[in-house]
Amino acid sequence: MAEVVIVESAAAAGELVAEEIARLIARRSDAVLGLATGSTPLPVYAALRNRLAGADLSHVRGFALDEYVGIDPAHPESYRSVITREVVEPLGLNPALVHVPDGAEDGIEHAGAEYDAKIRAAGGVDLQILGIGTDGHIGFNEPGSSFASRTRVKTLTAQTREDNARFFDSIDQVPMHCITQGLGTILEARHLVLLAYGEGKADAVAAAVEGPLTAFVPGSAIQLHPHATVVVDEAAASKLRLADYYRYTFENKPAWQGI
């Protein structure tokens, strides 16, 4: 099962994961990071900015999880723009080494396979950051997504469009389709780190971590991964049956293991 780490705040989650990423980059200056968008990873990126200020990160490579289909890449809420603004610029990454799925409608039928080929050519993702949707999605793999799925076009659920409407002027502007790494693609990363905060994520976290493996809860795919870490605050952990056990094992974990 995934290792669950319960921390006191989103900021503490960000620090913990940033520390692990810094260790990875210290080992491999050209580490391949799997980058997520949405609110969840922001504390990780903020902590990385502080921790790695002044470090040379120009060899670090990155692959975003997903992109909206048909959005202008220059739109401030395209995931290309978000990754540039939140990750590439503040950390001083080389933009040429940071990839986002191509959401252009022209050629979209081949864009998924091309993206998977790029990830493979880079040697795979070392550490994949993940958020989880209130419906259990990871990336934009909505309920029903095959555990074997590859990067492809998906239709966003009404709930996800509502959840993401806060980034747009109105829900009508939220694209209907996305291109997302598949669950099978995500499972090939060497380390999965899923973060969640707040009571609104408690059901999705419990279902992903302790529920049955089911395509109905795409996040439950992490149970198939040999190195998956779930970092949650107390509120997001509030529905975990084995919360005390997770606290006990983490408190007694040898420090050299990291997460």
Residue number, 13 or 52, with CB nearest to ligand PGA: 13
In the complex, minimum distance from the CB of residue 26 to ligand PGA, in angstroms, rounded to a whole number: 27
- In the complex, residue closest to ligand PGA by CB: 38
Residue among 67, 86, 116, 142 flagged as catalytic: 142
Residue number, 40 or 185, with CB nearest to ligand PGA: 40
Interface positions with ligand PGA (CB under 6 A): 38-40, 131-133
Of all residues in the chain, what percent are helix, strand and coil, respectively (each to 5)? Answer: 40, 15, 40
Residue number, 57 or 219, with CB nearest to ligand PGA: 219
In the complex, minimum distance from the CB of residue 165 to ligand PGA, in angstroms, rounded to a whole number: 12
Residue number, 9 or 39, with CB nearest to ligand PGA: 39
Residue number, 57 or 209, with CB nearest to ligand PGA: 209
- The CA distance from 73 to 79, in Å, is 8
Q: What is the DSSP letter of 138?
A: B
In the complex, minimum distance from the CB of residue 157 to ligand PGA, in angstroms, rounded to a whole number: 11
Which of 5, 22, 23, 25 lies closest to 13 in space, CA to CA? Answer: 5
Residue among 67, 86, 116, 135 flagged as catalytic: 135
In the complex, minimum distance from the CB of residue 128 to ligand PGA, in angstroms, rounded to a whole number: 12
Token reading at 12: 């503490």
- What is the full DSSP assignment across 65-96? SEEETT--TTSTTSHHHHHIIIIIHHHT--GG
- The CA distance from 186 to 124, in Å, is 10
- Virtual CA dihedral for 207, 124, 62, 128, nearest 10 degrees? 20
225 is catalytic: no
Residue among 66, 86, 126, 233 flagged as catalytic: 66
66 is catalytic: yes
Residue spans of alpha helices (H) in the chain: 10-27, 42-51, 79-83, 89-91, 108-121, 158-164, 183-186, 202-210, 243-251
In the complex, minimum distance from the CB of residue 131 to ligand PGA, in angstroms, rounded to a whole number: 3
106 is catalytic: no
Q: What is the DSSP letter of 147?
A: T
Residue among 67, 102, 137, 233 flagged as catalytic: 137
- Which residues are marked as active site? 66, 135, 137, 142
